[in-house]
Amino acid sequence: MIQIKDWPFYLYREYLSSEEADSIFHRAKQEILWKTEEIKIFGKTYPQPRLISWIADQGIEYSYSGKKYHPNPWPDFLDDIRRNIHQDFQIKLNSVLCNFYRDGNDKMGWHSDNEKELGPEPNIASLSLGVTRDFKIKMKSSGQIETIELNHGDLLLMKGKAQENFSHALPPRKKVREARINFTFRQILSF
């Protein structure tokens, strides 16, 4: 385990073996119902620069960027990963936002996963598969930025005040031609 600075971010290199990560990557490409969603920026509507899928326990809904997402059911391989993360880190998880970055043009801008449904100190387990991409973390108070490479099979835990005090992004990388899949497991609370 590598703690990023003294921040509430914990990196587990090769959480999945190369063979496990390969298998899950290929199954995810084939079995998950991927779709393009639209977002509004300054009053204009654009397609999100990645494909997504929302998977959760029955009855769990999620809202972000002004949209409400109704869940797809758990594929067995993702449910197994969720159970393993719960067992390894004792964190409850009832949902996962799946992101498919088709190449280096797909990206995610600066944001915090701080929606009210996640509670004040959410634990988020982010599993990366496919091509290595830079992941940026920014301290909100100072603007200090740390860049880490997320590799095939790496798991990043964001805990405690991570979403309150930091934002994060996956910037575009024009030279990257391969795909990346990211699963951000989380616990949605009932309000």
CATH at residue 41: 2.60.120.590
pLDDT of res. 19: 98
List, as own/partner pairs, every contact residues 41-50 make where C-beta atoms lie below 8 angstroms and the sequence separation is at least 24, other chains included: 49/105, 49/106, 49/107, 49/108, 49/172, 50/99, 50/100, 50/101, 50/102, 50/106, 50/107, 50/108
Is 63 inside any structural domain? yes
Is 75 inside any structural domain? yes
Q: Which residues contact 33 (CB under 8 A, 6 or more apart)?
A: 53, 72
Could you tell me the residue range of the domain that residue 167 belongs to? 2-186
In degrees rounded to 5, what are phi and psi of residue 42? Answer: 50, 45
Angstrom distance (rounded) from CA 115 to CA 189: 10
pLDDT of res. 4: 93
Is 34 inside any structural domain? yes
Q: Residues 55-89: pLDDT tens digits?
A: 999 888 777 666 777 889 999 999 999 999 999 99
Is 157 inside any structural domain? yes
Q: Taking the model in full, what pTM does it have? A: 0.92
Angstrom distance (rounded) from CA 10 to CA 91: 14
pLDDT of res. 59: 84
Using 50, 70 and 90 to split pLDDT, how confident is the model at 21? Answer: very high
Is 172 inside any structural domain? yes
Using 50, 70 and 90 to split pLDDT, how confident is the model at 46? Answer: confident
Q: Residues 141-171: pLDDT tens digits?
A: 999 999 999 999 999 999 999 999 999 999 9
Mean pLDDT for 103-109 is: 94
Mean pLDDT for 178-183 is: 98
Please count the structural domains in the chain: 1
pLDDT of res. 179: 97
Using 50, 70 and 90 to split pLDDT, how confident is the model at 115? Answer: confident
Is 54 inside any structural domain? yes
Is 191 inside any structural domain? no
Compute the residue count for the chain.
191
